Amino acid sequence: MTAPAIDAAKDRVVIFDTTMRDGEQSPGASMSLDEKLELAKILEEMGVDVIEAGFPIASNGDFEAVRRIAEIVTESTICGLARATAKDIERCAEAIKPARRGRIHTFISTSPVHMKHKLQMGPNAVLEAIHASVSLARNHTDDVEWSAEDATRTERDFLRRCVEVAIRAGATTINIPDTVGYTYPEEYADIFRDLIANVPGADGVIFSTHCHNDLGLAVANSLSGVQGGARQIEVAVNGIGERAGNAALEEVVMALRVRADRLPYQTRIDPRHITRASRYVSAITGFPVQFNKAIVGKNAFAHESGIHQDGMLKNAETYEIMKPEDVGQVETNLVMGKHSGRHAFREKLKALGYELGDEGLNEAFQRFKDLADKKKQVFDGDIVALVDDSLARGKERITVGRLVVTAGTEGQKAELTLNIDGEPRSAACSGDGPVDAVFKAIRELAPHEAMLQLYQVHAVTEGADAQAHVTVRLEEGGHISTGTAADTDTMTASAMAYVSALNTLIARREKAAPDTRVAGGFR
C-alpha cells in the first residue's frame, strides 16, 4: 500500500463520503454488494477523495464490500471503520489491503456521558485506548483517521488531550464528529480553532468535520468547521445516515462552489455526477428524495409562480443561483418514442449521465422499447427510472412472467406466473386489495418468512399513463432488502419490486450458507 496522495493545501477540502457506512446505518438503507460496487464507481468518477466503504468487523457482508471496493477503485482512498480494539483494527486492515490507497478510521467516545454509560471507562483508560488503537492502525497503513465520538459534547480540555495523544500515535486525520447533531455553527468553528491553535502537532494533520442533522444544521456546521480550519468534510449522498442523517454531499459541494466568494476552498468533485449519484442512492435504498430537497429534489429547479416564470424567461439569473446542468440535471431536446433507435437511445443515456456497457445498453434498450410500446412519449424521468431499475437488479433466481389482476367492487384476485430457476409456476390468489392478492401469490409460489416492511408507490412523471415507481422493503432475521421497479402497470411494478427484494434476500442467504440451496425451497 502506498502513502496517501491527499494533499493538505490550505485551500483544498477533502471530500469523504460515508454513504455506504454511516448512510447504510440508517434503518432500512441496506445495500447489496453489487449496489455498493456500482455506487463506489459513481463516487470515484465524481471525484470523491475518500470512500468509507463499510465497517468490516460488523459482518462478513461489510468486510466483503470493503475488500471488493478496495480491489476495483483506484482513484479514491478506500476507508474502513474500526472501534478502538485490536480485533476491529486487524479486520479493517485486512479488508482495505487490496486498496491502492487505504485508510483505517478508528474511533472511541470522549464525552462524559458516553464514557460513563456506553464505554464504562474512565478518561485515562480512554487515552490509553486511543494511543493503542492509533499505533496499531499505523502498523498497517500510513493513512489513519481518528475520531472522537460525541466530540461536541466533550470537555474541551479533555478533547485537546485526546487529540494530542492521537496525533502523537500517528493519526493523519483528526475527525471531530457532532455525533448527536447538537452543535451550532459558531461553536463548531471555535472547537477547530482551539484545537489547531493549542494541540501540539496539529499543523501536521488534517482536521475533519462529521455532522449529523438532528437540528437541520449539518451542512451549516460542516461549512463553519471549514472556516474554523477543518480541511476534510464527511458527507453522504442525499444526506442519509443515522437518525436525521449526515451532511448532504450535494449541498456541501454546491455551497462551496456557489459561494466561493465567502468559502474560497477547492474540492475535486465534478458536480455533474451529483444527480446520477442521488438517483442511484435513492433507487437502491428505497429512500425517496423529498421534492423540495436542495440541489437534487424534483422541484429544486422548478419555477411555478407566474412572477418567477416571467423573471426566468427574461433572465435565468433572476431566480437561479446555479443551473440544473451544473449538477447533471439535463433535460434534453431529444424526444424519445417507439421509433427511436439504439443510437438515439445511447445519446440520450449519455446526456442523462449514464455510460452503460454493451450488455447493459442492450438490456436497457429492450426495456425502453417495451415501455415505448405502452407509452406515447417517453420522458427523461422514465428513462432514468428504467435504467436505475436495471442497474439495481443483479442475477435473479425468480422473475415475473404473466400477471393478470382483477380489481374493483366485486373483489380482487391475482393470477401470477413466476419463473423460478427457469421453471414457470403459476398460482391464483385473492386478497384484501389487488396488491395483497399479488403478494399472496408470490408467497404461495416462493414460500418465505420475510416480513413486508414498506410498500411505496409514486408516479415517475405526470399524466395518467405515467410509470409507477414501486419500492418494496422486506425484513428477514434482521436483514433488510429493498427492491424497486418501474412500469406503466402499478401491479406489474409491485410484483417486480417484491420479487427483486426477494431475490436479494435469497442471494444473501445463499452467500451466508451456500450449501442450503434447495431448488424451489425459499424458506
Containing H/E element for 12?
Answer: none
H/E stretch holding 14 reads: strand 14-17
- Cβ 144 to Zn ion, closest distance in Å? 18
In whole angstroms, what is the distance from residue 217 CA to residue 231 CA? 19
- Closest CB 358 distance from Zn ion, rounded Å: 40
Q: How far is it, in rounded angstroms, from Cα 231 to Cα 27? A: 30
- Roughly what angle, to the nearest 10 degrees, separates helices 156-169 and 123-140? 30
Instruction: Give the nearest distance from C-beta 214 to ligand KIV in angstroms.
Output: 11
Q: Closest approach of Cβ 478 to Zn ion, in Å? A: 21
Interface size with ligand KIV, residues (CB under 6 A): 9
Dist. CA 110–CA 150, nearest whole Å: 6
Cα dihedral 230→231→235→241 (10° resolution): -40
Would you count residue 22 as binding Zn ion (CB under 5 A)?
yes
Closest C-alpha among 300, 292, 337 to residue 319 = 300
79-108: which residues touch ligand KIV (CB under 6 A)? 107
- The smaller minimum CB distance to Zn ion, of residues 249 and 372, is found at 249
Residue with cell 439569473: 317
Q: Is 149 in the site for ligand KIV (CB under 6 A)?
A: yes
Residues in 106-135 that interact with ligand KIV by CB under 6 A? 107
* Closest to ligand KIV by CB, 96 or 486: 96
Assess 382 for contact with Zn ion (CB under 5 A). no
Strand duo 468-476 + 479-487: pairing: antiparallel
Number of residues that bind Zn ion (CB under 5 A): 1
When CB distances are held under 5 to 8 angstroms depending on the partner's kind, the choice from ligand KIV, Zn ion, none that residue 152 binds is none
Please list every residue from 4 through 43 that binds ligand KIV, using CB under 6 A.
22
Of the pair 62, 475, the CB lying nearest ligand KIV is at 62
Give the whole-angstrom CA distance, residue 14 versus residue 51.
Answer: 11
Nearer to ligand KIV, 107 or 188 (CB): 107
User: Residue 107: which of Zn ion, ligand KIV, none does it interact with, CB under 5 to 8 A by kind?
Assistant: ligand KIV
Q: Return the number of the residue (17 or 22) whose C-beta is nearest Zn ion.
A: 22
| Span of 16-24, 50-58, 485-493, 499-507 interacting with Zn ion by CB under 5 A | 16-24
For ligand KIV, which is the closer residue by CB, 149 or 380?
149
How far is 398 from 419, CA to CA, in rounded Å? 6
For every residue of 199-238, DSSP letters joined together read STTGGGSEEEEEEB-TTS-HHHHHHHHHHTT--EEEEBGG
Q: Name 404's Cβ contacts closer than 8 Å, sequence gap at least 6.
A: 414, 415, 416
**Minimal distance in Å, beta carbon 232 to ligand KIV?**
12
Q: What are the strands, taking DSSP E only, across 179-314? A: 206-211, 232-235
Q: Does 147 bind ligand KIV (CB under 6 A)?
A: yes
Is 210 near ligand KIV (CB under 6 A)?
yes
Q: Does residue 239 interact with ligand KIV by CB under 6 A? A: no
Interacting positions 165-204 with ligand KIV (CB under 6 A): 175, 177, 179
- Positions in the binding site for Zn ion (CB under 5 A): 22
Which residues make up the interface to ligand KIV (CB under 6 A)?
22, 107, 147, 149, 175, 177, 179, 210, 212
